[in-house]
Amino acid sequence: MSGITVNTKINGDPVEFICDADETLLDVLRNRLGLTGAKEGCSTGDCGACSVTIDGRLTCSCLVLGAEAEGHNIGTIEGMANGEELHPLQKKFIEHAALQCGICTPGFLIAAKSLLDKNPDPTESEIRFGLAGNLCRCTGYDKIVRAVQDVAKGMRNNKAKRA
């Protein structure tokens, strides 16, 4: 089978890769590009461990073909921290112990960032619905919800200070 050449941007950098027609974006990221932050959980779009953004839109990379990435901007967990400086969500997840085994964490962080980008002041219920596509079998979700609430609060305070 001849491969398909795909030109895309990942975390802002132009990337070219070759993949098979039936290969998912998740497999391309992990197996061809060495970006192993996105995890394979269920492979059927239920667990959210493979969450990425495509042109800023949250999606499961297990439900996208690698070939579909042509001409689009992909955002992965590897692009979340600013160099050595962790994103506020990453810091608060550590502070609140919002993870245990860590498999779901990259997906939760991507989904939580996507939620806060659209809604900087979510209610607890909005956070829980917004993150319903991410499964965690360790934390019981409470610590994750509290970490996201804490980040949202910090973002609002910073905005108020600047104003």
Partner 1 sequence: MRYERPTTLKAAAQMLAKEKGKAFILAGGTDLLVRLRTGFIDPDLIIDIKDTSGARAIQKTATGFKIGAAVSGAELGENAALKKAWPGVVEAANLIGSKQVQGRCTMTGNLCNASPAADSVPALVAAAAKAVVVGPKGKRTVPVEEIPVGPGRTSLKKGEIIESLILPKRPPKSGDAYLRFIPRTEMDIAVVGVGVSLTLDGKGVVTKARVALGAVAPTVVLVPAAAKAIIGTKLDKAALDALAAACSAACNPIDDKRGTRDFRIKVAGVLARRAAMIARKRAGGK
Query: Between 4 and 86, whose beta carbon lies closer to partner 1?
Result: 4
Query: How far apart are CB 35 and partner 1 at their closest, in Å?
Result: 18
DSSP assignment of 22-37, as one string?
A: T-BHHHIIIIIS----
Residue 160: how many other CB atoms lie within 10 Å: 8
Query: How far apart are CB 161 and partner 1 at their closest, in Å?
Result: 30
Query: Between 1 and 163, whose beta carbon lies closer to partner 1?
Result: 1
Query: How far apart are CB 65 and partner 1 at their closest, in Å?
Result: 6
Query: How far apart are CB 43 and partner 1 at their closest, in Å?
Result: 5
Query: How far apart are CB 26 and partner 1 at their closest, in Å?
Result: 10
Chain positions contacting partner 1, by CB under 8 A? 1, 4, 20-22, 24, 43-46, 48, 51, 54, 57-60, 62-65, 67-68, 70, 111, 114-115, 129-134
Distance CA(154)–CA(146), nearest Å, equals: 12
Query: Between 45 and 86, whose beta carbon lies closer to partner 1?
Result: 45
Query: Between 99 and 115, whose beta carbon lies closer to partner 1?
Result: 115
- List, in order, residues 6 or more apart from 132 with CB less than 8 Å away: none
Distance CA(145)–CA(98), nearest Å, equals: 8
Is residue 36 within 8 Å of residue 16, measured between CB atoms? no
Structure tokens, 5 = 């050449």
Query: Between 62 and 151, whose beta carbon lies closer to partner 1?
Result: 62
List the one residue out of 17, 18, 19 whose CA is nearest residue 9: 17
